[in-house]
Amino acid sequence: MIKDILVNLTVGKPNDFAGDFAISAAEMFDAHLSAVAAACKLPIADTLDGISATTFDAYTDERQAEAEKAKRSFDERARRAGIQSDSSVVTDFTAEVAQLFAEAARHYDLSVVAQEQRENDLPESLIIEAALLESGRPVLVVPYIQKTGLKLDRVMLCWDGSKNASRALGDAMPLLGRAGTIDIVTVEAKEQRSTIRGAQIADHLARHGFKVELKPIVAPGNDIANVLLSRAADSGADLIVMGGYGHSRLREFLLGGATRGMLDSMTVPVLMSH
């Protein structure tokens, strides 16, 4: 059951696709939605590089104005959607904003974050990584090309038998319960004739009354993210569910190859758990 959701609003860009997506999810689950708009200060190192205190303050004021604008826009859209919501602006350095978001996410059933875009998206990148590795809760990452709200006609569950995949499956159960069809996708380096990985978890989900289809893929290469995204495109998946891999040390985050590849190239929303 999803009863409260936390979203990091897209600040300083024409479209707040994360906020819109989170509103649609809150509508679907009749959930309370809390929104955070981040105003990230100029890094300290830049102030030591000949940038004056006046410039530093002007930069912060500009970021705060953009965050306030994003907050007001969200409040109006949430009001029109008729959902219960609250919103706030957080002003701090990027790493601290990411950590604060992760700590806040521990108190919600789900957090929603926008995919980082190519140009100057350090805040989104760090917030995704912190939410995934530090919150202990599932994070749903919305691609920047997303045009629609949450749809669950076909959900793709990426299964490798790991504890991270199992955690993602458990966290996604409220979503899977509303799915039209669940594709359980496994990736093997070579064909497995004696056993089919994923068969047991397919049985488990079928016992819950879910409509499941087992979709094993044989792919000898190492680009797992590309294999999964190609399958998602071919099947018309609305959502991908998968384990997120990586570790954090002293607020430095290192994501696994498949996780990083998925976040870089995703074309559909992805729910990850660590």
CATH number belonging to domain 154-273? 3.40.50.620
Phi, psi (deg, nearest 5) at residue 150: -65, 125
How many whole angstroms separate alpha carbon 116 and alpha carbon 98? Answer: 13
In a structure prediction context, what are the per-residue pLDDT tens digits for the chain, which is 274 residues long?
Answer: 999 999 999 998 889 999 999 999 999 999 999 999 999 887 765 445 556 677 777 888 899 999 999 999 999 999 999 999 999 999 999 889 999 999 999 999 999 999 987 665 667 788 998 999 999 999 999 999 999 999 999 999 999 899 999 999 999 999 999 999 999 999 887 766 545 778 999 999 999 999 999 998 887 766 888 889 999 999 999 999 999 865 444 344 445 567 888 888 899 999 999 8
**Torsion on CA atoms 132, 138, 144, 148, rounded to nearest 10:** 180
pTM: 0.90
Whole-number pLDDT of residue 111: 98
Q: How many CB atoms lie within 10 A of CB 159?
A: 26
CATH topology (fold) of 4-142:
Rossmann fold (3.40.50)
Q: 4-142 and 154-273: same fold?
A: yes
Characterize the bridge pairing of strands 252-255 and 246-249: antiparallel
In the chain, what are the domain boundaries?
4-142, 154-273
